[in-house]
Amino acid sequence: MIRILLAEDMSMLRGALVALLNLEDDLEVVAELARGDQIVSEALRVRPDVAVIDIDLPGLDGLSAAAQLHDRLPECRALILTSLGRPGTLRRALECKVSGFILKDVPPRQLTEAIRAVVAGERVVDPQLALSAFDSGAENPLTQRETEVLRQAGQGAEADEIADRLFLSVRTVRNYLTAAVTKLNARNRVDAVRIAREAGWLDHHGH
């Protein structure tokens, strides 16, 4: 029996995935979570063979959780679910030692096959994701400071909070945000955060 921990914050999708996986004779969902920061403690408790983790989770993003999981429970494989169009993330996923990286909207059979493959020690990367990672080749146009300020803004911080955190003046923070909005051809700050996030530029520190 392959024991699965599933972390997905959309409850409807999580319910559907649990039902689907439990239909398979050799698969069993032993834990289901909606937050990234609960993954490691739960995995240490139930000792799954594989953790199926959505990349966008509250509390802690899926890749950071997978990296922690690898440190604490190396025998548990991590399979990341993502949506297309985030080139920066594949590289980071491989750095985080994940065993699999597949699209959320693959047919169910592909997901169950991917789970069996990673448990067997293979690495599974969706070909579409691999292609988009190399196609886009888009370099992050933002400086490290602009990226950091935008990342903080994306977490809901206001300019004065960001200034405190990064030891900058509020005016400097606003300048960075304006520069980021301009470089990304964004409509506003929120739009700039969305564009940078979709490109995978806010997922990790630096470039």
Which pLDDT value is given to residue 206? 40
pTM for the structure as a whole: 0.66
**Residue with more model confidence, 130 or 16:** 16
CA separation for the pair 38, 59 (Å, rounded): 8
Q: Once rounded to an integer, what is the mean pLDDT over residues 134-158?
A: 83
Whether residue 83 is predicted with pLDDT greater than 50 in this model: the reply is yes
Mean pLDDT of 181-204: 83
pLDDT recorded at residue 163: 95
Instruction: Indicate if the pLDDT at residue 7 is higher than 60.
Output: yes
pLDDT in tens, 39-60: 999 999 999 999 999 998 999 9
Predicted local confidence at residue 54, as pLDDT = 94
pLDDT bracket for residue 205 (50, 70, 90)? very low
